[in-house]
Amino acid sequence: MELYTTFLECALATIAILVGVVYFRKKSTDPRYPPGLRFLPFLGNVLQLGSDPLRHHHAERPQIGEGTLLDINSTGRPSNPVTNYIGGGNGLVHSQGSQWESQRRFTLRKLRDFGIFKSLVEESLAEEATRLTNFLEKRIGQPISCTKLFNGPVVNSLLKIITGESTEWDSPIKPKIIQFSNDVIEAINRTAESGLFFAPLLRFIAPGFFGWTDWVNACDKFNSLIDTSIKKHDGKLDLNFHNDFIDHYLGEIKKTEDPNSSFYQRNGYINLEAVVGDLFTAGSETSLSTLSFAILYLIQNQDAQQKAQREIDQGLAHPITVHRSNTAGNIEIGHVFPLGAPHRMIADTIFHGYFLPEDTTIIANFTVKRQCLGEGLAKDTMFLFFACILQKFKIEADPNTPIAKCETPTGLVVEPKPFKFMLSPRSIPLLGNVLQLRKDPLQVFQKWAVEYGPIFSIRIGTQNTIIVNDSKLVKELFADTNSTGRSFNPVTYYVGKGNGIVTAHGEVWEAQRTFTLRKLREFGVLKSSNEQFLKQESDSLIKFFERRVGKPISGIKLFNGPIINGLWKIISGENCNWDSEVKPEIVGRTECLQETVNKASLLFFAPFLRHVAPSVFGWTEWKNAIDRLFELAGKTVAEHSQRLDSNNPQDFIDHYLVKIRETTDPNSTFYKEKGVINLETVVSDVIGAGSETSSLTLSFAILYLLLNKQVQRNAQKELDRVVGSSRQVSLNDKTLLPYTEAIILETLRLSSILPLGIPHRMLKDTLFHGYLLPKDVTVLAGLYTIHHDSQIWGEDVDEFRPERFLNDDKTQVIHHEALLPFSAGRRVCIGEGLARDTVFLFIASILHRFNIELDPEHPVTKIETLSGLTVEPKPFTFVLLLRN
């Protein structure tokens, strides 16, 4: 059935491609049509424009998706479902014909009535300029990120004109109007970068991946805020006294009686909302990006900065010449809107001998000033802000992070990169660096760390991901509460949907983690002094092996049974017969989840693939495995709830149910149904995440000992000396068995089972060692790279040598600060202590009782691994022999 499904999906994809090829080949072209570049079906010239689109601007007819772009001027607007979403074809930017003419004429007239294009606007702009310089004075001598630096004053200037209101943009809490307008601008560039603006059909294929979801959410929030402001104005409108632009527009609506007018009743309100949105978004982005470029250019051109400041110091006799020149230079070099707003031909047209068909999209390569409705206001804003900064400050590069060159991420709008930008490997549109990670990704990450340094960024699809490859930096960053978020990934989100511990963040995560830690400590689970439940599993494991002495034993999934059973007893109080012929339900379902993690690993980086071929990329198996584990967790919780004695809780589930019954705060994560959902998720988190790392570590330990007989003999000599033959190994022996402990530490280092840890997400913009880590960016710890750094561990970094964790006389364990197998910081694994004790007791008990030998029929000759989200050994077998 699975093979049939795969075949069907491939067949449909092939048919779609063939249809596209036929369509594009049959598409008629008039001989007078402007010449252009060769293009691909569906994609057009998108891939050619990916890395540096502006360098292709001399091409006469690039093909973007299904729209033909011509480097000339026209007056229409293209019909695009992406751009139409924000205004629905209304307002100024996206409208056309008589509607556009009437809206533009009215808006221009009213803005002129306010004196927007006259000197009267200076009072408002001067106030914002003063606040800006005061803001900068508080940060003298400190590194300042220029990204979004001018958003506050620019947006607030527009806010006063449009709504008559003002906002505290320099307060710690960002006002909604600034936050939401920023979100719209960011969504614009993301959708342009992903190709959605040029191929809008992509919104149906993978809306999250191509930015459609972000675009819709940003537009909805922004439009909702505007709608609220309009309703507020409408409720207190005085037709005889208008205070701002919205009042004037509402007055026009009230007096309009022509039902065909774009100001008539509901049509007027829709256009007002669109016009306000246009003024905020289009009116702010160009100004703030130009100001950012101005700062960047002056850092790199100190002579120009000094000339301007000398002119100011001489009494501002003729300040406009230099400053206007600088501003014009910024506009000319920066080209913050490089292709303008797309136009559309509304009829077949012959232009200079070329045939321009109806509905063709037209763009222009601007190399001189372009006219826009707010040009005067934008220039005045930039001039005043720019002059005030130069009057009071000297602009210098951050000495810790000097700027090597000017770089710009390009979407529909060009903006300067953060002034201390991260190095990153070259990527391709849509996929980012995914293809470079197909083969041996861990070696690729090591290579990038050498080439780009301890902090660099990669692109997974269209999303930036930051990799930190230094243990001290990982500890410092992950100790910051700003880094405790979890990435917005639909694949990981399916596990608990933001509840529980592993995929939750914020208040949910803190409350669930705190309660779980406290209860596990009360049970003694996280204390080395209490080893009863571990001892039971260790004894059953030794008996299991004794029955198989001399027989080949598979090293894969070997330790799942005792580890899962130990955790299950803590969680549910139940015991499963893991070594029986029929695999217990909890063991089977947990193993099923473990198997799907690496099968679905590509989905974690390119989740849109779950829509393309869900069974091929492991999405179907992933969902089924999660559903089955949660089904068992829910069933167990329900059984405990029916027989619960609140005065005598027996296990973790009982204690949690008591907490639910005691909770009366409806906002609590333990309240009623919300509490039950979180309990089921925590149970799944502990069993799923808590079992795999320990089980894989034990399998790697067996494999390393199998190929390093001298290490095995050294450990056994230590065990014979400390434990002897009259008793079994105990956790109390741990401090007396430094060599055995060093074997565990070396196994954790060399295997690096979670090579990139679990993804973190920045909860807000954070400046870290001069780098701007933007809100919502994913951060990964390069644990495999850290654990295999020859500068830290020596030239024999890839060899299994436990002695690197011992002092010179091998009597004490050295705990290296660069060993981070359980990550670090506030989200360090809550089961670290239990995992370390489990692995130590199991390995020590095996070495005390058995010799680990090669399977003579299938001898292992080298370490081979499978890499995905986790690293696991390839299947291998071994033989245990009783020691004399």
The binding site for heme comprises 829
Cβ proximity of 531 and 643 under 8 Å: no
Closest of 436, 493, 442 to residue 460, by C-alpha: 436
The C-alpha atoms of residue 495 and residue 501 are separated, in whole angstroms, by: 10
* Chain mean position to CA 194: 15
Following CA atoms 34, 39, 43, 47 in sequence, which dihedral angle do they give, to the nearest 10 degrees?
-110
Q: Which residues contact 343 (CB under 8 A, 6 or more apart)?
A: 73, 74, 75, 76, 77, 78, 361, 362, 363, 364
Q: What angle do CA 747, 752, 758 make, to 5 degrees?
A: 140
* Separation in Å, CA 405 to CA 296, 386, 397, 425: 9, 21, 12, 17
Radius of gyration of the chain (CA): 32
Closest alpha carbon to 745 in 828, 799, 820: 820
3-state secondary structure labels for all residues of 787-835: HCCHHHHCCCCCCCCHHHHECCCCCCECCCCCCCCCCCHHHCCCCHHHH
Q: What are the helix (H) ranges across 27-92?
A: 81-87
SS3 67: strand
Contacts of 153 (CB under 8 A, 6+ apart): 128, 129, 131, 132, 169, 385
Q: Which residue has the tokens 């998720």?
A: 681
Alpha carbon distance 243, 759 (integer Å): 50
**How long a stretch of residues is the chain?**
884
Rounded CA separation 422/467 (Å): 10
Tell me the three state secondary structure of residue 480: coil
Angle between helices 619-642 and 672-707 (to 10 degrees): 120
- Residue 761, C-beta contacts closer than 8 angstroms, at least 6 positions apart: 483, 485, 486, 487, 488, 505, 776, 777, 778, 779
* Cα(513)–Cα(502) distance, integer angstroms: 9
Q: What is the C-alpha to C-alpha distance for residues 250 and 255, in angstroms, rounded to an integer?
A: 9
Dihedral angle at the C-alpha atoms of 205, 210, 213, 218, nearest 10 degrees? -150
Tell me the residue type at 59. A
Which residues of 41-181 form beta strands (DSSP E)?
A: 63-64, 67-68, 70-71
Per residue in 708-717, is it b (16+ CB within 10 Å) or e — as a string? beebbebbbe
Q: Could you tell me if 324 and 383 are in contact, meaning their C-beta atoms sit under 8 angstroms apart?
A: yes
Q: Which stretch of DSSP H or E encloses residue 344? A: strand 343-344
Say which residues have a Cβ less than 8 Å from residue 575's Cβ, sequence separation at least 6. 565, 568, 569
Query: Could you tell me whether strands 343-344 and 361-363 are parallel, antiparallel, or unpaired per DSSP bridges?
Result: antiparallel
Type of residue found at 133: T
Strands 463-468 and 778-781: parallel
Residues annotated within the binding site are 829
Residue type, 712: Q
Round to whole Å and give the CA distance between 90 and 277: 10
